[in-house]
Structure 1
């Protein structure tokens, strides 16, 4: 397993460098979030052993054993849809939340941030594609939402996140990523202290190169990195 992950990382890094070259970017700007949400504790440890420090999980109950064993070794990202009743278990353990998509959730993150005296980096999730099956704000709602969270002291809007539809030709995802980058510029133009919005979380195993060309700073890679070891139970 260790050797396989090592080889996968080497191949991914090569593709990141090529995509960066095509788009006049520095490859060091792009961080891999290793999506280990269906992976075992051993696989997650193997990823960390190979030097990837950003770990993406989406089921609070499944990640507790990993956090207990490995929590201080990585930077943990909550990448799934977050229910308000799970926020207390996420704040303080996860440095990043990639799925802030409603005010009730923001209020809950703020409440637990205050209790635990910890600030959380949040990506506002945007449903750029408009698919009914996906969570996220509509693009036209983003600016108002960001303004609405401006009084919150324990939330930093570090950027925007989206999921593109799965396309057999990854090039077809480009307009989705372009739109998110345009929205990012609009958020940055507000110049709100709590919303620097320097990051874009977009691009997965199938389309990360296009996402990089369009400005991604965090790419979320699961299948291409660790495979689908375990089937989701929910």
Structure 2
């Protein structure tokens, strides 16, 4: 068994069955992605459209690809050609551009709102108090389907320090659910990475995004 396969096996044993493990594949090779796929993973994420343009055609597998990085509006069409999910909605302007492109392509795209839960200047994502408003905007559209909320909280050495941010993100997820918006079926609460995913799961995450824990240090 390869190192990647061993890592995947251990992770899948450690997390509850309702939790989807998404492999964060930026800077990884197509062969490493295939190793993780063969070990049982089906959801993979990428941060950059340009890198994904090179990698995705080289990966011949039934993978559900997620755009998990900041998406520029001028890359919206390319992203829709490449990815099954767009997990990083962070502005109304991006929402409008994705709706326009998806309409022309005659597709319906599952999307997630990215919340900048720590309100950090260096990070993308909507401010927590804007998330519900953006959810309402998406619910009125014909070609985007809101299926989740994603966050990347502040990075801490101690995973426990992330707990309050995960708890706040879950509160936003539940608030959107309570709105009972048309065309919105929230399925995924995507939070937690290699250093803090166990805490994220304790706080309600049912999708975790792992890079180092699967592929090793870059």
TM-score, scaled to structure 2: 0.95
Which of 7, 13, 27 lines up with 1:38 in the alignment? 27
Partner of 1:7: 6
Equivalent residues in 2 for 1:28-67 (5 A)? 28-67=17-56
- What does the per-residue CA deviation read over 1:79-128, in whole Å, with 9 as the maximum and x for residues that have no partner? 10000011101114311111101011001110111111111111101111
Partners in 1 of 2:32 and 2:151 — Cα distance? 26
Aligned counterparts of 1:84 and 1:203: Cα–Cα separation in 2: 26
Q: Deviations over 1:18-64 (max 9, x none)?
A: xxxxxxxxx22101111111101111121112121111111111112
CA distance in 2, matches of 1:68, 1:216: 30
Shift of 1:71: 5.5
1:142 aligns with 2:141: no
Q: Say whether the 8 Å CA contact 1:92–1:113 is kept in structure 2.
A: no
Q: Which secondary structure state, in structure 1, belongs to the residue aligned with residue 149 of structure 2?
A: strand
Provide closer, same or farther for how the CA distance between residues 12 and 193 of structure 1 changes in structure 2, counting only shifts above 3 A: same
Q: Does 2:63 correspond to 1:74?
A: yes
Instruction: Note if contact 1:39-1:228 (Cα within 8 Å) is conserved in structure 2.
Output: no
Please tell me whether residue 174 in structure 1 is matched to residue 163 in structure 2: yes
Provide the residue aligned with 1:124 in structure 2: 113
1:81 & 1:212 partners in 2: Cα distance?
24
Tell me, which stretches of 5 or more residues in structure 1 are unaligned? Answer: 17-26, 230-234
CA distance in 1, matches of 2:82, 2:187: 22
1:107 is the counterpart of 2:96: yes
Match of 1:185 among 174, 184, 190: 174
The CA deviation at 1:174 is 0.5
> What stretches of structure 2 of length at least 5 have no aligned partner?
none
Q: CA deviation at 1:195?
A: 1.9
Contact preservation (8 Å) 2:140, 2:182: no
CA contact (8 A) 1:92 1:116 kept: no
SS at match of 1:105: helix
User: Which residue number corresponds to residue 208 of structure 1?
Assistant: 197
Deviates more, 1:33-42 or 1:2-11: 2-11
Q: State the secondary structure of the residue aligned to 1:165.
A: coil
1:84 equivalent among 61, 73, 78: 73
SS in 2 for 1:149: helix
